[in-house]
Every structure is written in structure tokens, then in C-alpha cells.
Structure 1
């Protein structure tokens, strides 16, 4: 089926002013906050580890690494927790898993066409799907990154061709290999349209960074900047997933229905 980008945008946006989308917004906001906290915590913990390790390995530095890192670097991370590297890494990885779980819920919801309530089969093979979605995200990310290293165009091509692979895992409960194969096939013949869709989603992502830049430029308190950025990022992320989900439904074809649903608009 031909991908109609304006229709996907309209269809996706129409699913946002709903009770279900409001709940998902709160979930995205919470995940964004946890991501910020755990990222800052891991960064600060790593800095502390380097600050403590480097002088021991290089006597004579006066307790300050060659890069000038010294006491007080934690001030750059106002939300960082005072924990060690191991704990910080565990917290960060736990946040990654939680974010993926929220992503699974969001995609299954928007693909099903749910508006007033979540799909009845939302928890179907949930743990297995979250794990496979994480694996396939890493695989696609590495493939795209390698393509970008060698030449920009191969990386962009892979990002386009494999964009719906994660959807195949989340919606169709497919394993990594099957999802890679079928996700690749799904975009065949529509990769220019998918590329244009990704341009739209990229622009939406850029919008999420504007408030933070403006607030930082005018000297707003960092916590205010972070809070506003989290809200805007939650909104734009939800918009992007809604549009991508409805584009996925288009490409699956008119006769396709999500697993466990009587029709794509059963809810």
C-alpha cells in the first residue's frame, strides 16, 4: 500500500486529544525525567571515578587529572544522585528497559487505534517483546551507525529501510531475524516516502530542543530549562510515535488487523 504522509500525520494527531494519550504523556514525562536523572548520575559517577583513578595511576598530578577535572564537577549535573559507577549504570539500564516498555505500550496502543481505553491484549508476551525490541533497536542502531561512518547515504538508507523493524517486533511479536526481514520488505517500494516521513519526524524532534536553547540563551535557571524541555520532549515524542504508528498501519494494507483485534479500529 502506498504511504500517504499527510493522512498519517492527520491520523496520528487525531489520536492525541484523548484520555489514553494523556496517560501516555504522563508516562513519557516520567521516563524523560528518569532518563535525565540517570544520565546525569552516570556521567557524574564516571567523572568521580576518573578523578579518583587517574591520580593513582599518574602520581604527581596533584590530585587533579590532566584535563583539569577537579572537585566540584558535579555542579554541572544538578539532578545527579550521589552513587557509584556500578549503581549508576544499573539505574541507567533499568531506565532504558522502562523506556522500551513504555514504547511497546505506546506503539501497540496507537497501532490498534485505541482512543478511550488501552487495547485488551496490551500485555501479550510483554516481557519477550520488550527484550526483543531492545535487541533489534541495538542491531538497527549499529547497522545505521556503521553505514554513516563509511558513507552518509548508506546510513540514511538503512535507517529508512529498517525504520519499521521495531514495529514488527512490538505489534506482530516477531523475533529479531524475522522482524529484520519483514521490516525491510515492508518498506520496499516505499522508501522515498518513508524517507520523507522520517524528515517530518526529524523536524518534530528538532522542535523539542528549541525551548531549552531559548531558555538557556536568556539565562533561565537550569531546573526550569530541564522541566520545560521534558514537557516539550514528551509531547513531540508522543506525536512522532503516533504518526509513525499510523504510517505503519497504512503500509500493512487495508486487509491487515493488529493481533488480537477484530479490526484496526476495534477500540
Structure 2
């Protein structure tokens, strides 16, 4: 079955406006705000550590530096570092659960099988994410275009891992195969989602009223989180279209690693 862009976006909108979509939007907003605070705090902690090692006559106004991280809290570097690591793992878990939920025919907001072998799947997803990020990074260094091509070819890696229990290399290989079979449609889909993310994520910057930096950062995070949920829904629907498959995994192995 070919990937149908219009149908993928329509189904994605329907999912976002459903009870399931609203629930995941709420969860991702909370995660996004928490993540923004932790990463801003980590950045501030690194900045303060760096400034503290500068000669006194070369130090920068720390108050001015703090203005660039309005959501930052005064936390120890070790605490923010551990928090950032935990959030990276949680991010993969949330993405996997969301993919499985949006792929399921079960109309319950959280189908019973979304937590199946979650620990093992998260580990595979992190490993695949590291490998693909390195490949895309190298490609970007090599005249940018190869990196963009790699990014497109890896478009469905998470769906492969979440829905088919694919391993690292298998998920990458299968994603490349699905994308090349639906190259133009996948390219258009990816471009639209990226543009949508940029537009809505930065929409608050174009408001005709002046807002405090903390409010701007918070609203931007909320918009970006909702777009993330919509993107997961659309990408998952598109993957199911392109592969002609459905997610009906056995629920007996829930919780296994």
C-alpha cells in the first residue's frame, strides 16, 4: 500500500483531537516543560562553572548570561546531569508508547500492549538513535546534503523498533527500504512536519505583544510538545500505510525486557 500524504495528515489530526491525543499532548507538555527546566539548568550550571574558571578581569556579567536561560533553576551540575540522562531515557519510552498507542486498533486511550518489552525496546531505540545521529552528523559535515539524505532514510526507525521489535541494524535497514519505496511521499511528509514544527515552535516570537522571557519559553515549549505528538501520530499512520501492516502484538509479554 502506498503512503498517502493527505490521509496520513487527516488521520494524524483525528488522533490529536481524540481523547488519546489529548492525553499524550498533556503528558508531552509536562515532559517538555520539565525537560526545558533541566536542560536550561544544566546549561546554566556549565556556564557558571566555565565563568568561575576565568580570570576575574575576564569574567562576564552572569546576570546577563542568566537572561538567556529563563527556565533555569539554581541546581548542582551533578543533579542536572543525572536529570538530563533520565529525561533522555524517558523521552524514548514516551515515544515508543505513543507510537504503539497511535498504531493500535484498540480505542482505549492507553491500549494494554503499549508497555510490552519496554525496557529492551528503549535500549534498542537509544542505540539506534546514537548510531543514526552519528551517521547524520557525519553526513552534515560532508557538504550537508548527505546528512539530510540519511535523516530522511532513517525516518521510520522508531516505528520499526516500537512496532516490530526490530534490532538496531534491522530497524535502520527496514526504514531505508520503506523510505526508498515511498521516497517522494516521505520527503514531502518530512518537510511539512519540519516546517510545521519551526512555524508553531517560533510562533510566539511574532506575537504583537511583549511577553516576559519565561512566558515565551513556556508557551513555545507547549506548542512544540503538541507538534511532537502530532508528528508521532502522522509518522506512525504513514508507516502503517507504507508497510500495509497493523499493530496487533500479543499482550502476554507485557513488561518483559
- TM surpasses 0.5: yes
TM norm structure 2 = 0.90
- Distance (whole Å) between structure 1 residues aligned to residue 107 and residue 20 of structure 2: 6
Instruction: Tell me which moved more, 204-213 or 125-134.
Output: 204-213
- Alignment partner of 1:54 is 2:54: yes
Which residue of structure 2 lines up, in the alignment, with residue 124 of structure 1?
A: 116
CA contact (8 A) 1:19 1:115 kept: no
* Structure 2 portions without partners, runs of 5+: 252-257
- The alpha-carbon distance between structure 1 residues 82 and 6, as it changes in their structure 2 partners (threshold 3 A), is same
- The alpha-carbon distance between structure 1 residues 194 and 261, as it changes in their structure 2 partners (threshold 3 A), is farther
Structure with bigger gyration radius: 1
Residue number among 133, 147, 150 corresponding to 1:158 in the alignment: 150
Which residue of structure 2 lines up, in the alignment, with residue 234 of structure 1?
A: 225
Which residue of structure 1 lines up, in the alignment, with residue 133 of structure 2?
A: 141
- Distance (whole Å) between structure 2 residues aligned to residue 261 and residue 49 of structure 1: 50
Which residue of structure 2 lines up, in the alignment, with residue 198 of structure 1?
A: 190
Residues 8-59 of structure 1, C-alpha deviations (whole Å, 9 max, x = no match): 111111112221111101111011101110111011000111011233xxxx
- Alignment partner of 1:177 is 2:169: yes
CA contact (8 A) 1:147 1:158 kept: yes
* Structure 1 portions without partners, runs of 5+: 56-60, 263-267
Instruction: Tell me which moved more, 131-140 or 73-82.
Output: 73-82
**How big is the shift at 1:76?**
3.3
CA contact (8 A) 2:105 2:247 kept: no
Residue number among 65, 82, 85 corresponding to 2:74 in the alignment: 82
Query: What are the equivalent positions in structure 2 for 1:62-73 lying under 5 Å apart?
Result: 62=57, 64-65=58-59, 69-72=60-63, 73=65
CA contact (8 A) 2:3 2:241 kept: yes
1:15 is paired with a residue whose SS is: helix
TM norm structure 1 = 0.87
- Alignment partner of 1:41 is 2:41: yes
Query: What are the equivalent positions in structure 2 for 1:4-43 lying under 5 Å apart?
Result: 4-43=4-43
Number of residues paired by the alignment?
250
- Distance (whole Å) between structure 2 residues aligned to residue 114 and residue 16 of structure 1: 16
The alignment yields a C-alpha RMSD, in angstroms, of 1.9
Which residue of structure 1 lines up, in the alignment, with residue 3 of structure 2?
A: 3
Which residue of structure 1 lines up, in the alignment, with residue 246 of structure 2?
A: 257
Residues 79-98 of structure 1, C-alpha deviations (whole Å, 9 max, x = no match): 22222222221111111211
Which residue of structure 1 lines up, in the alignment, with residue 213 of structure 2?
A: 222
2:70 is paired with a residue whose SS is: coil
- The alpha-carbon distance between structure 1 residues 187 and 261, as it changes in their structure 2 partners (threshold 3 A), is farther
**How big is the shift at 1:179?**
1.0
